[in-house]
Structure formats: C-alpha cells, structure tokens
Amino acid sequence: MKKNKYLPFYVFVGLMCLGTLSQKLIGHRGIGNLLPEEPSTWSEIIKNLPWSIPVCIIFTFIIIRIITEIMTMAEKSLEKTRKRKEKKVYSVPNTHECRICGYYVNDFPWGEDGRSPSFQICSSCGVQFGKEDDTLESIKEYRAGWISKGGKWFAKNETPEDWDIETQMKNIPNEFK
C-alpha cells in the first residue's frame, strides 16, 4: 500500500483538471464555453465549475480513502494472523496438565502429539485448550487474569475437597511458566 500513498491526491488533481477542461472545452451540458472571460485563478475556475464535478471529486476521494482503510485493516489482520501462527507454542507430547493452572486433565488437552488441541474447557481455570492457550504470551495473560479474579474453580460442582491452587500450579509444565 505504501507505493500508492499519494493515489488519492493524484486522482483528486486529475479530476480537477478534467473538470477544468470540460468547462473550457465542452462547457455545461455540451453547449460550449460558459465562462464569460478567461479565469485567472484556481479559485475562479473552481467557483465556475458545474456542481456535479466537485461532488464527484469529493465522492471519489471518500471512496479511495475507504478502500485504502479497508486494505490497511486487511494487511494488519493478515500480519496479526502470521505473527500468531509463528508464535504458536506446542505442548510436550503425552502431557495431561493444563498450561494455565496445572490441573490434570484425563484427556490430552493438546492431543497425544502435543500439537492437536482438543478445544475442551479446563474444569479448573476455564481456558479453552487451543484457543486461549496457544502462545506463551496468551498463557501468561490468561493465567494472570484468572489469578487476579481469585483463581476460583471454573466448574464449581467439580471442585475437589482438598484443592489447593498453589499445589496445583506446581504441575504447570516448565515451558509454560
């Protein structure tokens, strides 16, 4: 997009020149030159243009700005997706522990190979495996949020009687601390 940085300006100037030429050569509704005398300044030329020309210029400028913004947003989104894929962190194969809280999950949260998330939800912290724990950054962010809310058990009816958050968090795999 940086190559076409001045495209809206070029289109704007081009349409202004087109409007001026149409006024000079063709005139309003094709009747010929409607200007009583030769204009000497841009402000006189612009003042004498038919109203449709400035309106077209304004709409063209607005449309080009909208397209530019959409393309910029699409590029940013694509860049975020690329960065996210590059930063993806995989588990050690055959790991049953949650990356966020260290809770032992019967199924493998990230599959037996450590690369295939189950997308299930951890009973302890409420993280969805593969969605909110796919980068080291997101793991630490989710964990900090969970602890700041008191580190409460997500599935309240499944809370073990002798549950201790400190003991459980010691089970977090070293790669994700």
165 or 47, greater pLDDT = 165
pLDDT given at position 90: 58
Task: Give which of 98, 102, 130 is closest to 116, Cα–Cα.
Answer: 130
Looking at per-residue pLDDT, the higher value among 3 and 117 belongs to 117
- Of the chain, the percentage scoring pLDDT greater than 90 comes to 8
DSSP codes of every residue in 27-76 = -GGGS----SS---SHHHHHHHS-THHHHHHHHHHHHHHHHHHHHHHHHH
Which pLDDT does position 144 carry in this prediction? 93
Task: Tell the residue number behind the tokens 């910029």, with chain if given.
Answer: 72
Average pLDDT over residues 156-166: 85
Which pLDDT score, from 0 to 100, does residue 143 have?
93
152 token code pair: 């409460």
Q: What is the pLDDT of residues 65-105, one digit of tens each?
A: 888 889 889 888 888 777 766 555 655 666 788 888 988 88
Give the pLDDT score at 36.
56
Q: Where are the domains of the chain?
A: 2-86, 87-177
